[in-house]
Amino acid sequence: MKIGFDHEKYIKEQSQYILERVNNYDKLYLEFGGKLINDLHAKRVLPGFDENAKIKLLQKLKDQAEIIICVYAGDIERNKIRGDFGITYDMDVLRLIDDLRRYGLEVNSVVITRFDHQPATTVFINKLEQRNIKVYTHKAIKGYPADVDTIVSPEGYGQNPYITTTKPIVVVTAPGPGSGKLATCLNQLYHEHRLGKSAGYSKFETFPVWNVPLKHPLNIAYEAATADLKDVNMMDYFHYEAYGIAAVNYNRDLEMFPVVRRIIEKITNKESVYKSPTDMGVNRIGFGIVDDEVVREASLQEIIRRYFKTACEYKKGQADESTMQRIKLIMEEVGLKEEDRVVVAPAREYARKNMKKLSNNDISSATALAMDDGTIITGKSSDIMVSCAAATLNAIKYLAGIADEIPLISLNVLETIVNLKKNDLHSKYCALNLEEILIALSISAVTNPTAQMALNKLEKLNGVQGHSTIMLTHNDEQTLRKLGVDMTCDAEYPSENLAYS
């Protein structure tokens, strides 16, 4: 993989910049946007970026930092799902706490925002408290965010509890957007200043990248990633007016900046030091780019990947038509088509050549994987296994130098598992999924050295690009994600059965 981003340079630059900002206050509330852990979008558009760069940055600052996690009560009530992991927001909070603890980072508390005694949220609060995790609840503030006089008053921030913190950097993060991070930071600012303490607010948002051009593919890829949020990148006119320097931000931050600045000024009773939303940020991601061409190409590929993801969500009814139209316009804006993703045409062609009906009347599908050396490996679905499982077996055989005709798993073993699913477990879909095939392979490797050779090559699939001619099941999606395979899918169901998911 060509490298376009210097991780070590970035970590050094970023940590120094945050510490410089902290020096201006006794305490800095740092709103962390995006994903704190497993930032796969940043990894894809910035080749060389460590997907856990943010958490490692905090680990570097752990003696000076503690963490508050926000989650909106409404997201818990409607079981909002985090798309990349396929888990609800309340479960993601638990996962995030576990991950932070593994890195030796202190979790101060969980804040439930806009809480109104919702039943499912109350159960979640009880669950957290039973595990000795501090929980605070914040009510919705009438007139937020426009009625600054009410917001900055005992009836506004004053009605919400003060969260006691002990370290100079307080990171405020959340499972996803709209969780109340900004409101929590400003709520704390209100209480800190009522207590006579010097506290400040800054924002750490990775994208858009303020110091690369507005129409750079890196920033357009961010628009593609947030098509459902209707985010639009814009020039930060506040920044240009104050400093004469071009900077990129996005519509929501620009719209909110005058209000946020007024709130901060009312809390502190003095003019804000921030002249623009870019000023509020501490992000130095742009300074880690070492090869612009590599980043441009990676970003264009991410736009196509986002297009396929949105198309699948639209087909499933999880995205609306305006989101689909938005991603199509972005594709047209940068002059991309589906086939510009190298694995798309081979997967479709292989499916066309091998099209047949399976025993359950489904049409066979195909998966293509692009190896690092440019070789395209394909696999087709059968009554024994799904196409992504077949392609994965073919790929690790290729990497291990094993001839195609040599089986890794005995056909008798595979048929026995299929019959178990069909006859004893009464499964409607009996073809083995990728996880089941890998378990069978690992068992086979105990007595079969060839299977072990192939199994040892699984780690080489990390970063491989893939495409399926049908939408994958959640189980196969997550297994491929764990292997590090970047998959896209055509927006086609494998079956007319309405219960397919």
Q: How many residues does the chain have?
A: 501
Cβ–Cβ < 8 Å for 365, 387: yes
Instruction: Name 478's Cβ contacts closer than 8 Å, sequence gap at least 6.
Output: 85, 86
- What pLDDT does residue 360 have? 66
Of 394, 413, 407, nearest in space to 458 by CA: 394
The two structure tokens encoding residue 301: 């590929």
Q: Looking at residue 84, what is its pLDDT?
A: 66
pTM confidence score:
0.91
Task: Give residue 499's pLDDT.
Answer: 65
- Give CA–CA dist 339/307, Å, rounded: 12
Cβ atoms 364, 381 nearer than 8 A: yes
Confidence of residue 327 (pLDDT cuts 50, 70, 90): very high
Domain map (residue ranges) of the chain: 7-206, 342-489
Cα torsion 253, 259, 263, 269: sign: positive
Q: Before 161, cis peptide (omega within 30)?
A: no
E strand or H helix at 378, and its extent? Answer: strand 376-380
**Sign of torsion over alpha carbons 232, 237, 243, 246:** positive
Least confident of 79-88, 168-177, 202-211, 403-412: 79-88
Task: Give yes or no for a contact between 422 and 430, defined as CB atoms under 8 angstroms apart.
Answer: yes
pLDDT over threshold 60, residue 500: no
- Pairwise CA distance, residues 482 & 5, whole Å: 23
pLDDT, tens digit (0-9, with 9 covering 90-100), for 93-105? 999 999 999 999 9
342-489 in CATH: which number? 3.40.140.40
In single-letter form, the type of residue at position 449 comes to P
What is the dotted CATH code of the domain comprising 7-206? 3.10.630.10
Look at residue 98 in the predicted model and tell me its pLDDT.
Answer: 95
DSSP-assigned letter for residue 229: G
Report percent pLDDT > 90 for the chain. 84
Contact by Cβ (8 Å): 369, 392? yes
Does pLDDT of 205 surpass 70?
yes
At residue 359, the pLDDT reads 65
H or E segment to which residue 250 belongs: strand 248-250
Structure confidence at residue 501 (pLDDT) = 44
Evaluate if residue 438 carries a pLDDT over 80.
yes
Residue 101's nearest CA partner among 135, 148, 69 is 69
Average pLDDT of the residues in 326-335: 97
pLDDT at 248 > cutoff 60: yes
